Amino acid sequence: MPRFRQILDTMAAYKAGKAVVAPDGRSYKLSSNESPYDPLPSVVEAIAEAAREINRYPDPGSVKLTEAIAERFGVPFDHVALGAGSVTVAQQLFEAVGEPGAEVVYAWRSFEAYPLLADLAGVTSVTVPLAGEDHDLDAMAAAINERTRMVFLCNPNNPTSTAIRRDGLESFLARVPEDVLVVIDEAYHEYVRDEDVPDGLTLYRDRPNVCVLRTFSKAYGLAGLRVGYLIAPEPVATAVRKTIIPFAVNALAQVAAIASLKAEDELLERVERVVKERTRVREALIAQGWTVPPTEANFVWLRLGERTLDFAAACATEGVAVRPFQPEGVRVSIGTPEANDAFLAAAQAFRR
């Protein structure tokens, strides 16, 4: 047998959300945090036009897309780094800090890719239990030591949906040593409506050790094309660009992301529909008797403990795929009104 890294014997591959089909053929996939809407016609048109040139390599520097992002957010061009989805930009960050003995601190439970990326980069994970459904920032600050290279804050947190407020985040940042990189993972930023949840881009500008991750997969509806980005002080962005795989952001993804930025007003109208459905779903669940934490993302969280897999199975019987995290709870993405109604009916039936 060929010899592989020993860490591969102890780690499980990332598991994506699955679809299920009810006996009557109904199928509602609420197990992945995707946009429930089809791509905008203008974006599809841009992709179709770009498809005529897919015999050519994409721009390895993604210059036009980088310029568009920099202009949209009012940041310098050299503060932007791209990757094939924000999870890949996160991988680039882990590779940039990873070496024997290095530690990375993050909450748990949080985004399930963090431990996989840490293991693959040869970094030691230091996981800090959540305080209920929230980041325990005091405990995270206490976990930082001379071996710590990076801290991840998923805000809003996946899968628990809660968000870190401004005072808590600013207080935490003030306690982090300047040589420790703080990554604010804002994959769900566009869904935030609580004015007390800060925009990470207002925090990074005068903090050389703070960077922000964002993605076109969620609100912009480009999950299938894989394009994400980082905004950070120039030395951080430069380090991340050095760890990208050549041509990682494909030509269609670059064109689609630029077109999506141009159509942002139309796309954000769709986001507002998701937010309204999010409110409706959460209020309906609470009325059924469930405990549902406040959500600033495009999903809701039910802490079910040992009932987690039973609940997921009951939903699957009704053609509704949810995302179980055994033995903690279930994450349910906000879909179309029809899909949400099917989920609410399954949740109500489970309580009977």
* pLDDT tens per residue across span 24-36: 888 999 999 999 9
- 197: which residues sit within 8 A by CB, 6+ positions away? 155, 156, 163, 164, 165, 166, 296
**Predicted local distance difference test score (pLDDT) of residue 231:** 98
Q: Determine the Cα–Cα distance for residues 18 and 24; give it in Å rounded to an integer.
A: 18
Q: Determine the Cα–Cα distance for residues 350 and 167; give it in Å rounded to an integer.
A: 39
pLDDT in tens, 231-282: 999 999 999 999 999 999 999 999 999 999 999 999 999 999 999 999 999 9
Question: 10-24, 115-129, 164-178, 288-302: lowest mean pLDDT where?
Answer: 10-24
Give the residue-averaged pLDDT of 314-324.
97
* Average pLDDT, rounded, for the chain: 96
Give the residue-averaged pLDDT of 51-79.
97
- 153: which residues sit within 8 A by CB, 6+ positions away? 106, 107, 135, 164, 169, 172, 182, 183, 184, 185
**pTM for the whole thing?**
0.95
Q: Higher-confidence residue: 4 or 310?
A: 310
pLDDT in tens, 102-116: 999 999 999 999 999
Statement: residue 352 has pLDDT above 80: no
